[in-house]
Amino acid sequence: MERGTREYALWSIGIVLIVFVALLPVVWIVSLSLKEPSTITTGPGISVWDAFFPKEITFDNYKSLFEGGIDDSPFIKPLINSVLIALITTLISIVLASFAAYAIARLNFPGKSAILAGALAIAMFPPISTVGPLFDMWRTLGLYDTYPGLIIPYLTFSLPLAIYTLVAFFREIPWDLEQAAQVDGATPFQAFRKVIVPLAAPGVFTAAILVFIFCWNDFLFAISLTSSDASRTVPAALAFFTGESQFTQPVGSIAAAAVIVTIPIIVFVLIFQRRIVAGLTAGAVKG
């Protein structure tokens, strides 16, 4: 296939544009977080360059997030909550979803299409529809403002997502290899551990990353079902940060916290790009 220079130029422009637009807000929030608090205010008559980039770089906004240690910092406890809640949810959904996905991919039983379709329907569920009842139930059950109080609703979207991704991956696994290994003298457990686990692990890992990103992202449940640092996650905490006085918006601290919660995502993306793309596109279209 011959490709002309014109086409080449077109692709280049496209790529540059995509990269620019995708990164712009990220660079902007980083830049904002490095600004001296007194220079955050912009206004008419300043050049775009000066409005965008900090005059002098300072890490004060980051320092202020961690001041006062775990008890008084507005950020440390929510960060811990976010990590733990997302990890626990991921673990539970991956375990439950692996059983289900294995069965759906490998076994023959009536109702499995229904389960898959049902999971899909649940994934499309509007979260606001369950916020009210969950709030009322948690109030009476004492789950309000606790870890389980968030983990349970997170399962609504993490389970279907995990089941779907895993089914797509498990379908691709050549399960016959297991039998072949057994024929070669391996015990069933050895065959499972040596053959199936390495084949399934990438899919499981990908599903885990996707579920984690989802839990990390939630805002609606987090602001509705928590009321203190006991379980509030970062997205909710961001909306509640305090400024210099009761009436000022803490732009710098919000930007710094935003950067910190974005770092793990960027790391994931850089390291696992291929896996995530595979996970998102796996099973998307089945002929």
Partner 1 sequence: MTLNWFVGTQPGGTIQEVAKRCTEQSNGEYTINVELLPTDASQQREQLVRRLGAEDSNVDLIGMDVIWTAEFANAGWLREFTGEDAERVTKDVFDSVIESASFEGKLYGAPFNTNTQLLWYRTDQVDEPPETWAEMIDEAERIGGFIQVQANRYEGFTVWVNAMIESAGTQILSGPEEVDLEEGSTTEALAMIGRLANSPAAPRDISTSNEDTARLGFEAGDSPFMLNYTFAYASAQANAPEVAKNMGAAVFPSVVKGEPGRPPLGGFNIGVSSFSEHPDEAFDAAACISSPESQLIATKLDGLPPSNETLYRDPVVRKAFPGFAKDVADSVRAAAPRPTTPAYTDLSLAIQRSLHPPDSINPDDPKPAYDKLYEAVSDAVKREGLL
Partner 2 sequence: MEASGARMRLGRNRAPVSERTRSERRLGWLLCAPAVIAMLLVTAYPIGYAVVLSLQDVDLRFPEEGGFVGLDNYVAVLTSELWWTDLLNTVFIMVVTVAIELVLGMLIALVMYRAIFGRGLVRTVVLIPYGIVTVVAAFAWFYAFNPDTGFVNNLPLIGDETSWFGERFSAFAVIILAEVWKTTPFMALLLLAGLTTIDSGLYEAARVDGANAWQRFWKITLPLMKPAILVALLFRTLDAFRVFDTIFIMTRGAQDTESVSILGFSQLISRLNLGLGSAVSVLIFLCVLLIAFVFVRWFGVRMAEGRPGA
Residues that bind partner 1 (CB under 8 A): 38, 41, 43, 72, 135, 139-140, 144-145, 227-229, 239-249
By CB under 8 A, tell whether 284 contacts partner 2: yes
Distance CA 91, CA 155 (A): 11
Asked if residues 65 and 256 have their Cβ atoms less than 8 Å apart, the reply is: yes
Residue 86: half-sphere exposure toward Cβ, Cα within 13 Å = 25
Backbone Cα Rg of the chain: 24
CA–CA distance from 171 to each of 157, 163, 220, 271 (Å)? 22, 12, 34, 25
Tokens of 104: 């759906």
Task: Tell the smallest beta-carbon distance from residue 124 to partner 2 (Å).
Answer: 5
Binding residue for partner 2, selected from 56, 71, 72, 113, defined by CB under 8 A: 113
**Nearest-10 Cα torsion for 151, 83, 203, 279:** 90
Task: Tell the smallest beta-carbon distance from residue 260 to partner 2 (Å).
Answer: 10
Q: Which of 125, 129, 212 is nearest to 165 (CA)?
A: 212
Tokens of 166: 């895993």
Binding residue for partner 2, selected from 44, 69, 185, 198, defined by CB under 8 A: 44
Q: Which of residues 215-274 bind partner 2 (CB under 8 A)?
A: 216-217, 219-220, 223-224, 234-235, 238-239, 251, 254-255, 258, 261-262, 265-266, 268-270, 273
Task: Tell the smallest beta-carbon distance from residue 64 to partner 2 (Å).
Answer: 17
DSSP letter (8 states) at residue 184? T
Nearer to partner 1, 100 or 238 (CB): 238
Q: Which of residues 153-182 bind partner 2 (CB under 8 A)?
A: 153, 155-157, 159-161, 163-165, 168
Task: Tell the smallest beta-carbon distance from residue 77 to partner 1 (Å).
Answer: 11
Q: Which of 83, 84, 86 is nearest to 94 (CA)?
A: 86
Tokens of 95: 């375990």
Task: Tell the smallest beta-carbon distance from residue 263 to partner 2 (Å).
Answer: 11
Binding residue for partner 2, selected from 79, 85, 134, 195, defined by CB under 8 A: 134
Task: Tell the smallest beta-carbon distance from residue 87 to partner 2 (Å).
Answer: 16
∠ CA 158-163-167, rounded to 5°: 150
By CB under 8 A, tell whether 45 contacts partner 2: yes
Task: Tell the smallest beta-carbon distance from residue 157 to partner 1 (Å).
Answer: 23
Nearer to partner 2, 119 or 204 (CB): 119
Residue 242 binding partner per list partner 1, partner 2, none, with a CB distance cut-off of 5 to 8 Å that depends on partner kind: partner 1
Largest CA distance in the chain: 79
Nearer to partner 1, 12 or 249 (CB): 249
Q: Which of residues 3-22 bind partner 2 (CB under 8 A)?
A: 3, 8, 11, 14-15, 18-19, 21-22
Asked if residues 181 and 194 have their Cβ atoms less than 8 Å apart, the reply is: yes
Nearer to partner 1, 125 or 240 (CB): 240
Task: Tell the smallest beta-carbon distance from residue 154 to partner 2 (Å).
Answer: 9
Strand extents, DSSP E, 27-105: none
By CB under 8 A, tell whether 38 contacts partner 2: no
- Other Cβ atoms closer than 10 A to 274: 10
